[in-house]
Structure 1
Amino acid sequence: MDWISWPQVIDDLASTRRGAATFLEDFDAPYSAACHSEWVVKWTKIGEAHDLVGDANLEKGRIGDAEKAWLCALTAFEVARRMACADAIESEKATAKIEATVRKFGSLDQKIECVPVKCDDQSEMLTYYLSAAGASKAPAVICISTEEEAATTLLGRLLPVAVARGISVLVVAHEDIDSNDHSDMALSCCLDYLSGRSDVDAGRIGVYGDGLSAAVATQFAFSDRRVAAAVCDGGLWDFARMLASTQWLTGTADAPDEKVVSARRSRMIEQFKCPVLVVASSRGTASLSEASKLLSHASAAPIDLQLVMPQTITSRFGEIEDFVTFDERIFGWLEHKLLPNSAL
């Protein structure tokens, strides 16, 4: 793959994201530390170039152009962060650049609000709220970061894909949700907050659990019937734990009776009362094989359940996801389910 002639700055968010997606989809360089380090540097420089363009536009009073440049920078820095997955120091540097750019973007027009959400026990969670563009009563999505990722890291990744849509976003860290004894109660407090906002349609609030938080999103959709759409693991994490527990209690390594397993899958599916997008990913909790079985069962039930899986490249440093295309699919699905006049 020849990226030598690829420009440092493409003055268009859609083009920048297409370039990032193509890079991630076609990445075929040798899996060496030197290779990954080289691409971390190149994508960091691309992000820094966009960042400088944004700063220059801000000085000229061209706020819209500044925001677009910073969104391009966020996409590039996220690519660098993922390429640096095996280098903790480089990964932290990329994360810091993402957080710094998020702060720049949030300083304009109050687009991003830092919101402390109170729980029933009077504890607070610091969340980040992005209001929908040009909408007075818009749907909203509660987005939960994966383990060991800050809310600002997820926000930086989602800003370029969410900012132009008619959907508000409330981002919360997995750590803050998991620190509560009942994560579903904490998320219900987030939903309460959104429902009380004058710019949010309380009847169109969804949830999205990134990575390992997909299981948390499932439990929230089960426990709170106000959830209008869920991007989650479909209950497969708890389902797998239940099967493993059964095998341990019975003292046998034999696979459980398929009829019993099938019946339990059907009962699990019936718990959903809203449209569901099951995410099958190495970063999440649902394997593709189990998710496919769940989808097969759902086809015979009165439930709107779909399956999505990101394209990944496997290296000795782990798997690198095409997060750009993946996020577009997820928010395209959310838009379709929460906005009445949208189309996939």
Structure 2
Amino acid sequence: MFLDNLSADVICGAMGRQNWVARWTEIGDAQCLLADLNIKKGAFDEATEAWLCALTAFEVARRMVDEEDPKRGDISAKVETNIQKFRLSLRHKIERVKISCSDQAEFLAYYLPAGNSELCAPAVICISSEEETGATLLGRLLPAVIGRGMSLLIISHDDISSSSGSQVLLSCCLDYLSLRRDGNAGRIGVYGEGLSAALATDFAASDSRVGAVVCDGGLWSLTRLLASVGWMTRGAVDEDVVSELRLRLVRQLRCPALVVAGGRGIVSVSEAIKLQADCLMASIDMELAIPQMARTPAGEIENFVSFDDRIFGWLKHKLT
């Protein structure tokens, strides 16, 4: 409700922003204390609810604080601390797993089991944005996926992008999920945030095992391609040619795609709408998701709660 009703009246200048950051941080701290009390009483369900509320409150505060503000790091530290408590104290375990590849490259990831007895639950490889750690992404997604009957493998953008073989590393992630006792090779999706959306597109185009992908639909690559062509030809590219290039890139995907535009996406809404129209004409299974944004004196703030629900509702539908 708070995110839906953000406006200039809610956040008035820097002081108003700082007050709301402090308020939501206090809400998160209070929910953490409530979770600790419920754990001591053996009330695990109530503790889970309190921890999920705390993580959401911290994410609201993190999005409202300035990027250069030291409080941003403090809030991220609170998220990581509470994820560790969540891991160790509740029945719903979060595993810290090592992903290894044949070339001896390896990195750590978070694995969230589906949380039920179903051995063939769908799973999603989630890649953080270039500005987030895996723990930060996990903290935000936990409230959106608990109870959905889905497993998550959370990996950091830095762990993937720092290697020239990002597609190989993502294939190793898919191998890991496929070989788990609770895995199902036919029901694995990929979700990329920020620049990781382009990595998700490339991976879904290269590996036919991907069952659904939340990505940029190839628009990041198209933007770079058009920039190069424009520089070489010193002129604009014909729209019919651009449309054909869009379709050529998106046709490489071998699974349903949800393209995120605006907000946390790396592509413009106008380009994504053009892509959606092209895909509709070509009968390509591509949908478009645009987050609800609140414009305030502090800048645009995204309603990540409803948007994450939209994304994982789509993934559950496509992978079931």
Are positions 1:159 and 2:142 aligned together? yes
* Residue of structure 2 equivalent to 1:203: 186
**Matched ranges for 1:61-140 at <5 A:** 61-107=42-88, 108-109=90-91, 111-134=93-116, 135-140=118-123
In 1, are the aligned partners of 2:204 and 2:213 still within 8 Å (CA)? yes
The 5-angstrom pairing of residues 218-297 of structure 1 reads: 218-250=201-233, 252=234, 254-297=235-278
Secondary structure, aligned partner of 1:128: strand
Secondary structure of 1:106 counterpart: helix
Matches within 5 A, 1:163-182: 163-182=146-165
Which residue in the other structure is 2:131 paired with? 148
Is the contact between residue 11 and residue 298 of structure 2 (CA under 8 Å) also seen in structure 1? no
Q: Is this contact kept in 2: 1:281–1:309, CA < 8 A?
A: yes
**Do 1:71 and 1:160's aligned partners in 2 also have CA atoms closer than 8 Å?**
yes
Contact 2:263–2:293 (CA under 8 A) maintained in structure 1: no
1:102 is aligned with what amino acid? I
- 1:86-112 CA-to-partner distances (Å, cap 9, x unmatched) read 443111111111111111111123610
> Deviation of residue 164 (structure 1)?
0.8
CA distance in 1, matches of 2:44, 2:292: 34
Displacement of 1:65: 1.3
- Rounded to whole Å, the distance in 2 between the matches of 1:249 and 1:184 is 29
Tell me the CA shift for residue 285 of structure 1: 1.4
**Distance in 2 of aligned mates of 1:163 and 1:303:** 31
Query: What displacement does 1:232 show?
Result: 0.4
How many equivalent residue pairs?
Answer: 316
Structure 1 residue 278: Cα displacement: 0.3
| Contact residue 86 and residue 317 of structure 1 kept, 8 A | no
Judge conservation of contact 2:113–2:150 (CA < 8 Å) in 1. yes
Runs of 5+ in structure 1 lacking a partner? 1-21, 340-344
CA RMSD of aligned residues (A): 1.3
Pair 1:85–1:326, CA change in 2 (3 A): farther
1:32 to partner: Cα distance: 1.1
CA contact (8 A) 1:151 1:173 kept: yes
**Residue 31 of structure 1, CA deviation:** 4.1
Contact 1:150 1:173 in 2 (8 A): yes
AA partner of residue 94 (structure 2)? I
1:58-108 Cα distance to aligned partner (Å, 9 max, x none):
001112211111011101110011111344311111111111111111112
The answer to whether the 8 Å contact 2:129/2:192 transfers is: yes
Q: What's 2:5 paired with?
A: 26
**1:50 correspondence with 2:50:** no
Q: Equivalents in 1 of 2:302, 2:197: separation in Å? A: 16
Query: Within the alignment, does 1:335 sit opposite 2:316 as a pair?
Result: yes
Gaps of 5+ in 2: none
Residue 121 of structure 1 aligns to which amino acid in structure 2? D
**TM-score of the superposition, structure 2-length normalised?**
0.96
Q: Is the 8 A contact 2:218 2:246 kept in 1?
A: no
Q: What is the CA–CA distance in structure 1 between the aligned matches of 2:129 and 2:69, rounded to whole Å?
A: 17
Partners of 1:82 and 1:126 in 2: CA distance: 26
Give the AA of the match of 1:38. Answer: N
Rounded Cα–Cα distance in structure 1 between residues aligned with 2:159 and 2:197: 15
C-alpha contact 1:313 1:321 (8 A) present in aligned 2: yes
